[in-house]
Every structure is written in structure tokens, then in C-alpha cells.
Amino acid sequence: MRVIDRHLAWQVILNSLLVLLVLTALASIITFVGELNSVGEGQYRLADAALYTLLYVPTQAYQMCVIASLIGTVLGLGELASHNELMVMRTSGVSVARLGVSALAGGVLLLVLCVVLGEWLAPPAQRYADARRAELTGYNPNSTAGGIWARDGGVFLNIREMSGRNSAQGIFIYRVDNAHHLLAMSTATSAVFRNGSWILENVRSTELGAAGAVTVNAASREWHTFLSPGLLSLFTVDSGSLSARGLYQYIRYLRSNDINADRYVAVFWSRIAQPISLLVMVLLALPFVFGPMRSATTGQRLVTGMLIGIGFFNFDSIFMQSGVVFGLNPVLTAWLPTAVLAAISVIAVSRIR
């Protein structure tokens, strides 16, 4: 039985990786062609566009994992069915459920790859690619639209530009009471984060009281806040480029300041659900292999897998965004598509004779 387990798992893994390679290559070509329009802006050159595309490969591979697992499983097991290998296994007394467990073993290894891509490789590579592109083209998203805004209880922080990982330019700090009346305002030309606190330079502070406004100037001042550079960096990237851990930290920050975090909660749980969706896709392939697709050609299996995978991807995205718009439970909007697909897969597998 171990030989059958390894054989089926290997077919699932090999074909899924081949499909993932092809889909990622196609996505990278599209990205590179799109970047050609930006070549020549500032110091952005053709080699920079190629490096940008290369750095986006982990992100694109992560996005394609679920679709690749379905198509790869359909193709791999379909080939075994075409050569009657699966029929021989069944006539030898191996049940469909047992064959499904063997296929899922390969899916688990693909799940590990998906998690590694989504949590450790894709987020830092994508952030570096975006930051490097912005630097070379001369576009700094932090210096437009008012810069970065953040809140620490009754203190509102505005940073016009992050000039480095631990340094900033143009700092405005507003302190308000519970009724949101302005109590004080401070400005600083620059700031450096050192030893757990910000060192503000060229500070001008104005306190508003009953006797009027009192202004004090200082060459430097230490400011203690939990708004570290690591947390502020979450404000400058798209939620899609954050790992689940980064999303969790951002959600904690939003909730601690009474800010609606439903959108990011939905994205967070969607990240958790994606590896499970990968396993569900492997399971969903079984009814097609043992059912109507048993004698289908490779092209027919490929088209079927792509239609189902792309359809699920679009439905999942649309349903999650609709949940945010209509105020639905974010956990429900993240998990319902996967739960429905899992139920359909289990029912379809149970009907195989």
C-alpha cells in the first residue's frame, strides 16, 4: 500500500508543480510586459523591470497554488485512469476513499509549499520590489495624499515621508481628549526610532489651555509610543502583500483604536482558508477522474480544471468583497466558499461507485 501511496502522491505533486510553473511563467510574462511601460521613468531600466518581475514570482506562485493543485491532480490522476492503473488498484480492493487519502498526502506537501510562499517568501519579496520600483521611478506613495496617518489612543500621528526603515521626515502629532477636542500639537522636521522610542528633531510643541496657547521649542525630544516603524510599515503596503502574521498585528492595532477592521479580518481568514482550499481542490479532482472524465483527453481535463479553478477564485474574491460592502461577518465571507466546495467534494466522492 505504501507503494500506491507514494505513486499517487508523486503524480499529484509532480503535475501540480508543472502546472504551477507554467501558470507562474505566464503571469510573469504579463507582469514584465506591463512593466515595459514604466521603463525610462527616472532611473528605472529594463534590467530593473526584469528584477521586479522576478521578485514577484513568489507572490504569483502563491496566488496560483489552489488552481494548480486542482489542474495538476486532474491531469496526474487522469493519466493513471487512462492507463487503467486506477482501475487495477480498485479491483485489487483499494477503495476510492483510500485512494483519496493517498492523493491528499501529496496535497499536504503542496500545502506546505503554499504556506512557505505566502508567509515567508512572497511578502518581503513583494514589499522590496515595490519599494525599489518606487525609488527608481521617483514615485513615493508615502509622500502623497497626506502621508501616513496613525493613531495611538488619544494621539494622532501624521508622517509625511518615511525616509528610511527607522527614520521619518515631516512629523505632526495631535493630542485630543475624549470629546476629540484638540489639546496639543507638536511638529518635528525629522525623527529616528532608537531603543524603542522616537527621537524627534527640531520640535515645536503647542499646548492649548484655558489661559491660551503655550509654545515650546526644543532641539530634540524623546517620544514613547507603540507606533514602531514595523507597525507603520503596514500602513504603506496593500493587504494582499502582508503575511497572516502581519495582518494579525494590523488587526490588533485597528481594534485597539476602535477602528473597523472587518476588511482585514476577511483577508486574514482568507489567508488561513487558502491552504485548506488547496486540499479541497485535490479531493474535488477525484469525482472527475472516476466519473465523466475517466476517458477524457488531456486537453479536456486541462480545460475543465481551469474553468473550475478560475471560477472558484473569482467567486471567492467577489464574495469576500461583497461581504465587506454589505457588512457580513468577515469570518463567514472568508470560509463559506471553501466550506461549500468541501461539502460538494465530499458528496461527489461519496457517490463514486
Distance, in Å, from the CA atom of 353 to the CA atom of 4, rounded to the nearest integer, reads: 20
Q: What is the pLDDT of residue 139?
A: 67
Domain boundaries, the chain: 2-138+262-350, 154-225
Q: What is the pLDDT of residue 182?
A: 92
Q: What is the pLDDT of residue 283?
A: 92
Distance, in Å, from the CA atom of 35 to the CA atom of 45, rounded to the nearest integer, reads: 10
Strand 167-176 to 197-209 pairing: unpaired
Q: Residue written as cell 481542490?
A: 281
- Calculate the alpha carbon distances from 130 to 86, 93, 244, 279, 286 in Å: 47, 54, 19, 31, 40
- CA 146 to centroid of chain Cα atoms: 26
- Calculate the alpha carbon distances from 110 to 66, 99, 239, 270 in Å: 9, 17, 24, 18
Q: What is the pLDDT of residue 144?
A: 47
Q: What is the pLDDT of residue 9?
A: 94
Give the number of other CB atoms < 10 A from CB of residue 112: 11
What is the DSSP code string of 90-131?
Answer: HHTT--HHHHHHHHHHHHHHHHHHHHHIIIIIHHHHHHHHHH
Laid out side by side, the sheet with 182-194 consists of 148-152, 155-161, 167-176, 182-194, 197-209, 212-223
Contact indicator for 126, 32 with CB cutoff of 8 Å: no
Low-confidence ranges of the chain (pLDDT < 50): 144
Model confidence, pTM: 0.84
- Calculate the alpha carbon distances from 286 to 108, 246, 272 in Å: 16, 36, 24
Residue 305 DSSP one-character state: H
- Cβ-Cβ contacts under 8 Å for 97 (sequence gap 6 or more): 349
- Cβ-Cβ contacts under 8 Å for 206 (sequence gap 6 or more): 184, 185, 186, 213, 214, 215, 216
Contact indicator for 268, 275 with CB cutoff of 8 Å: no
Contact indicator for 74, 327 with CB cutoff of 8 Å: no
Evaluate the CA torsion angle 61, 62, 66, 72 in order and state its sign.
Answer: positive
Contact indicator for 81, 87 with CB cutoff of 8 Å: yes
